[in-house]
């Protein structure tokens, strides 16, 4: 396996806006964590005006907002993988065909830039994170156990660097810039991974057998789709799980949720169901998710739908 190019990472994070770069304030992440732990199932969600996208968002996966711009990872599916029964060579399906995108768009929903990521059968981006200067984006084969490539994308230049490759499907990542550790989850978030990112040289953890690195996820009620690092050993993840159709029901039941996870203990610290849906009927936490602090509360942004979608925005007031 090719471990990818040698890299050099900066440990100082910056927030990039139209006015330039400013240091990231870790207190914002602590504020987010503290406020979210006050959210309960009865907390009102105030819907704000959505941001209709003026472009084809394909199949959204991860969302980050930096300054006045959003960054959306998404997969353009050209041919869905063929399901194999029985499995072949340890896989339950083929690789299909597609194109991986990282899209930058403004607060009016207009596309500013479209960066293609991946190569060949590796075309499915996952949930993304922002470390203050770079976006971290996993791109994988569209099947369980499929190979992945992890990219670091500079926000100012919007240029991508392949950091390492890994022989499992990585569906979402969260980056701890202080300890220089990248955390990831597998297909369906059934396993957690962590890779130490050195200042120089290859990512040695990426050369290890996945079975020696993985830790099982003891939580099953949702599959994490998009994750963000909060600090102090905490990660926030949003997700969904589709359950079997109940007797007499016309459709299957999709349960959405957002939770803070203690990444060391691998246990949820706080869990909140998502009982809100897009006009198409998809639960909001279907895929891409972002959150930010506002005065006495939180603002949650979602892109749950494919194609000509919209950023659905909700404010939660917590004291």
Tell me the CA end-to-end span of the chain in Å, nearest whole number.
Answer: 51
Residue 174 lies in a domain: yes
Residue 6 lies in a domain: no
Cβ-contact 197, 181 below 8 angstroms: yes
Burial class of residue 268 (count of CB atoms within 10 Å of its CB; 0-12, 13-18, 19+):
middle
The yes-or-no verdict on residue 293 having pLDDT over 50 is yes
Closest CA to 62 of 141, 168, 169, 171: 171
Residue 276 lies in a domain: yes
Residue 3 lies in a domain: no
Count of domains observed in the chain: 1
Residue 153: which domain range?
A: 14-317
CA distance 114 to 101: 6
CATH of the domain at 221: 2.115.10
Q: Which pLDDT does position 80 carry in this prediction?
A: 97
- Which tokens sit at 198? 């050195």
The yes-or-no verdict on residue 99 having pLDDT over 70 is yes
**Scanning the structure block, which residue is given the tokens 């770069």?**
21
Q: Which pLDDT does position 128 carry in this prediction?
A: 98
- Which tokens sit at 297? 């509360």
- Give start and end residues of each alpha helix (H) in the chain: 26-36, 210-213
Residue 132 lies in a domain: yes
The model's pLDDT over 6-39, given as tens digits with 9 standing for 90+, comes to 333 322 333 333 333 333 446 677 788 889 999 9
Burial class of residue 102 (count of CB atoms within 10 Å of its CB; 0-12, 13-18, 19+):
buried
CA distance 81 to 84: 9
Please compute the mean of the pLDDT values over residues 107-131 and round it to a whole number. Answer: 98
Residue 4 lies in a domain: no
- % of the chain exceeding 90 in pLDDT: 81
Cβ-contact 136, 70 below 8 angstroms: no
The pair phi, psi for residue 32, each rounded to 5°, is -60, -45
For the chain, the average pLDDT equals 90
The model's pLDDT over 224-261, given as tens digits with 9 standing for 90+, comes to 999 999 988 999 999 999 998 888 888 888 999 999 99
pTM: 0.90
Residue 8 lies in a domain: no
The pair phi, psi for residue 210, each rounded to 5°, is -55, -35
Cβ-contact 45, 109 below 8 angstroms: no
The yes-or-no verdict on residue 144 having pLDDT over 60 is yes
Cβ-contact 272, 254 below 8 angstroms: no
Residue 292 lies in a domain: yes
């Amino acid at each position: 396996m090719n471990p990818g190019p040698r890299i050099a990472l900066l440990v100082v994070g910056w927030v990039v806006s139209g006015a330039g770069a400013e240091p990231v304030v870790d207190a914002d992440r602590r504020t987010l964590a503290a406020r979210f732990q006050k959210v309960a199932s009865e907390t009102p969600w105030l819907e704000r005006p959505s941001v209709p996208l003026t472009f084809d968002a394909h199949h959204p996966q991860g969302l980050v907002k930096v300054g006045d711009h959003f960054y959306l990872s998404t997969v353009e599916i050209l041919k869905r993988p063929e399901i194999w029964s029985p499995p072949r060579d340890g896989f339950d399906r083929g690789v299909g065909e597609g194109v991986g995108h990282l899209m930058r768009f403004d607060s009016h929903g207009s596309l500013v830039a479209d960066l293609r990521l991946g190569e060949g059968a590796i075309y499915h981006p996952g949930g993304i994170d922002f470390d203050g200067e770079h976006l971290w984006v996993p791109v994988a084969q569209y099947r369980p156990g499929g190979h992945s490539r992890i990219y670091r994308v500079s926000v100012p230049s919007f240029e991508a660097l392949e950091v390492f490759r890994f022989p499992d499907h990585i569906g979402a990542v969260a980056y701890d810039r202080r300890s220089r550790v990248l955390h990831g989850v597998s297909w369906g978030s059934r396993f957690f991974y962590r890779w130490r990112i050195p200042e120089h040289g290859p990512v040695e953890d990426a050369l290890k057998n996945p079975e020696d690195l993985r830790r099982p996820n003891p939580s099953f009620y949702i599959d994490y789709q998009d994750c963000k690092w909060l600090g102090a050993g905490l990660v926030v993840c949003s997700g969904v799980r589709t359950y079997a159709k109940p007797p007499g029901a016309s459709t299957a039941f999709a349960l959405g949720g957002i939770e803070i996870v203690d990444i060391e203990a691998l246990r949820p610290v706080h869990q909140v169901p998502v009982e809100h849906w897009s006009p198409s009927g998809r639960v909001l936490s279907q895929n891409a998710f972002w959150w930010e602090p506002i005065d006495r509360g939180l603002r949650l942004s979602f892109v749950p739908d494919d194609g000509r979608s919209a950023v659905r925005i909700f404010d939660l007031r917590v004291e």
